[in-house]
Amino acid sequence: MSNPTTRNLVIGGAAGQGLGSAGHLLARHLVRLGHQVLVTQSYQSRIRGGHNSIALRVSQRTLSAPQERIDLLLALDQETIALHAGDLAPEGRILAAGSPSLPDELRSRTLRVPISDLGGKPLTNFILLGVAASCLGLEASALASAAQAALQKRPELAQKAAGAVRAAQAWANEQAGVRDGMGSVRLPAGTEQGQTRRVLMSGNQAIALGAISAGIRFCAFYPMTPATSVNQTLVSLSERCGLVVEQAEDEIAAINMAIGASFAGAPALVATSGGGFALMTEGVSLAAMTETPLVVVVAQRPGPATGLPTRTEQADLEFVLHAGHGEFPRAVFAPGSVEACFHLTRRACLLAEQSQGPVFVLTDQFLADAHRAIEPFATEALPELRPGSGVPEGAHPAGSFTAAPPSAPPAETAPGDYRRHAFSGTGVSPRRLPGGGPELVVTDSDEHTEAGHLTEDLTVRRQMVAKRLRKERGLRERIVPPERYGDARPELLLVGWGSTRGAILEATDRLRAAGRPTGALLFAQVWPLEPESFADALSAAAAVIAIEGNATGQLARLIRRETGCEIVRRLQRFDGLPITRDYILRALGAEQARSGATKEKP
C-alpha cells in the first residue's frame, strides 16, 4: 500500500527531448508550493540506451528514497509506455504524447494529448507538463509563470514554453478523463513552510556547498561522471565565493595541484570517480607523507574499468580504504542523504586540516544525482578552516588534536629552526605556511627529518612512521558513530552504509508497520570503525542482514575484520541500479518464502 499522500511521477522519452529540464521545472515548482520532492532517474530495470527517464516522488512527509511504482507516467514517446507501464500502480494513469498504439488494458488509463494542436512537437515536454499540472490539481497559471522564469535566458523559448503549458492545462481541464479520472493522482495542498522555504538540491551540490562553507578555496579536476557536478557547482560559484577551480590535464595533475595549493595555504578538494581516483592514488600517499590536508570526494559508479558510467554502485569502499602505497591513517565518510553530504563534507574539510592528511567522502551516482527538497542549511555559525592557525574550537564535539599532547610540540627558537614535521604526542605538527613568515616550510615525499629534509636515517624513519600513525587516535576520537533506527532488540537488523540509508529506513518502517520488530544500523563513516560504537547492536538482534550495493559485501567483510563478527546474510545489488525500499522488501519476502520450511539461521 503506498501512502495515499505520496505520488510518483515518471517522465520518459528519448534523449534530447528535454525531459530533465521539464522534470526539474515541475519539481522546483512543487517545492515552492510546499511539497516534499525527491527527483531521481527512474530506476526500472528495463533500461535501454537512448531512453531517458526522470522520477518525481512528491509527498507531504519527508522522503528518504525513490519508489518503483508509478502513479502518473508522462510518455514523450511510444517506448516509454513499453518500458514503464509494467510499473504502473493499479490506479495509475498515463499521459501520452500523440496517439501511440496501446494494449487494451491501458487504453482506459491513458490520456492521449494532441501535441500538434497545443504547440507542436518541439514543445512536447512542456505540453505534457501542463496536462500533468492539471491532473495534479495545480493552479493554472503558476506553472506557466515558473516555466517563463526558469527560461529567462532564452526569452523566445520561455514565451513558447509558458504558452504551451497554459494551453495544455486549459485543454486538460476540459477533458472528462482529467476532471473525473485523476483522483488517484491529484495532490493535496502543499504544507505551510516557515520563513525559510525549502530548496531542491542534489547530493553533489550539497558536497560543493559544504566544502565552500568549511573554507575550501581550491579545486582541480578532470571531468568524470558522476563526480563532475561537484566540480561544476564549485566552478559556478567560484567568482562569488572566491575560489580557484582549474580543469587539470589529468587526475594525476588534479590531485597534485590540490596538494600544492593546500601546502601553500588554500584548503583544497578533489572530486572524481573510480577510474580517476585510481590515477590519484599516488597523490593520496603523497598527501599523507607530506602531511598536507586534502579532501578527496569519490563518487562511485560500477566498475571495473569504465564499467557503467551513468549507473550506481558501492564497490569502491575497499579501494578507497586501501588506496595509496605505504601505511598511514585516514578517515572515510559515507553520507546517506543530501543533508549529510553537506555536513560530512564540512567535517571532512575540518578533519583534513586537523589531522594534516587525506580525508575521503565516499558517495555514489545515486546520491550524487538525486535532488531532494531540504531545509536550507544554516550557514551563519559554522566553523571554518584557517590553515596555519589551527581549527576553531567547537568544530568537533569530542576530542581534540591540539589538547594537551603528551610531549608538547617544540617551540621554534629561531625562524630557521621551524620544523614542519616536528614530533608531537598527537602526531600533528605545528603548521606554518610558506611565505607566511620568516620560517621555512620544507617537506618531502621521501622519508624526511623533522625539518622536512630527506633522510635515510633509519631511527628517524621509525619515529616518523610512528608519528604519522599516532594521528589515528585523533581520528578515532572524532568518529561519527553509526545511526541506529527502529527497534533496539529487533528480530531483524538491517545494516547498511552511505546512500542506501533512505531505502533501508523506509524498508524498516514497512516491516515494523507489518508487525515485525526491525532495526537499522547505518554507517555514515566507514573508517575508522570503533567496534564499541555498534557491536552491541549486532549482538542484540536475532538476525542481521548486510545490505550493500556491491557483489562481495565489502562493509560486512570490514566489520568482520574489525570485530570478528560475521554477518552471514547479505542482500547485494550490483546491476547498476540503487537499492530501493521495494527491492529490499522483495528480497526479504523471497528469502522468507525460501526458508519457509527450513529453520532460519541468524
Partner 1 sequence: MNASGDRRDPEVRLEDFGDFETAWCPGCGNFGILAAVKRALVELQIAPHQLLFVSGIGQAAKSPHYLRANLFNGLHGRALPVATGAKLANPELVVLVQSGDGCSYGEGGNHFLAAIRRNIDLTLLAHDNRVYGLTKGQASPTSPRQMQTKAQPGGPTSEAFDPLAVAVTMHASFVARGFAGRQAHLAGLIAAAVRHRGFALVDILQPCVSYNRIHTHRWYEERCYELDGSHDPTDRDAARARIESNQERIPLGILYRNERPVLRERFPALQSGPLVGRSVDRAALAEIVAGF
The answer to whether the CB of 340 falls within 8 A of the CB of 346 is: no
Pairwise CA distance, residues 558 & 117, whole Å: 60
The answer to whether the CB of 222 falls within 8 A of the CB of 254 is: yes
End-to-end Cα separation, the chain, in angstroms: 29
As measured in angstroms, the least distance from the Cβ of 193 to partner 1 is 12
As measured in angstroms, the least distance from the Cβ of 243 to partner 1 is 6
As measured in angstroms, the least distance from the Cβ of 412 to partner 1 is 13
Question: Which phi and psi (to 5°) does residue 220 adopt?
Answer: -125, 145
As measured in angstroms, the least distance from the Cβ of 511 to partner 1 is 34
As measured in angstroms, the least distance from the Cβ of 448 to partner 1 is 8
Among 229, 234, 362, smallest CA distance to 296 is for 362
Closer residue to partner 1 (CB): 94 or 269: 269
Instruction: Give the pairing of strands 492-497 and 543-548.
Output: parallel
As measured in angstroms, the least distance from the Cβ of 344 to partner 1 is 17
Closer residue to partner 1 (CB): 32 or 560: 32
As measured in angstroms, the least distance from the Cβ of 316 to partner 1 is 23
**Cβ neighbours, 10 Å, residue 536:** 12
The answer to whether the CB of 75 falls within 8 A of the CB of 94 is: yes
Closer residue to partner 1 (CB): 12 or 210: 210
Closer residue to partner 1 (CB): 443 or 554: 443
Closer residue to partner 1 (CB): 27 or 131: 27
- Between 581-594 and 501-513, two packed helices, what is the crossing angle to 10 degrees? 50
The answer to whether the CB of 391 falls within 8 A of the CB of 359 is: no
Closer residue to partner 1 (CB): 161 or 266: 266
As measured in angstroms, the least distance from the Cβ of 232 to partner 1 is 14
The answer to whether the CB of 334 falls within 8 A of the CB of 497 is: yes
| Amino acid sitting at position 457 | D
As measured in angstroms, the least distance from the Cβ of 17 to partner 1 is 25
Among 245, 226, 225, 247, smallest CA distance to 234 is for 245
Work out whether the CA dihedral 240, 242, 247, 252 comes out positive or negative.
negative
Closer residue to partner 1 (CB): 266 or 296: 266
| Amino acid sitting at position 433 | L
Work out whether the CA dihedral 304, 305, 308, 309 comes out positive or negative.
positive
Among 228, 220, 276, smallest CA distance to 248 is for 220
Closer residue to partner 1 (CB): 171 or 222: 222
As measured in angstroms, the least distance from the Cβ of 393 to partner 1 is 17
As measured in angstroms, the least distance from the Cβ of 453 to partner 1 is 5
The answer to whether the CB of 351 falls within 8 A of the CB of 401 is: no
β-partners of residue 570 are: 546
Q: What is the DSSP letter of 183?
A: T
Closer residue to partner 1 (CB): 19 or 234: 234
β-partners of residue 111 are: 95
Question: Which phi and psi (to 5°) does residue 181 adopt?
Answer: -105, 10
Closer residue to partner 1 (CB): 263 or 523: 263
Q: How far is CA 528 from CA 330, 339, 473, in A?
A: 8, 22, 10
Closer residue to partner 1 (CB): 7 or 28: 28
What is the three-class DSSP state of 133?
helix
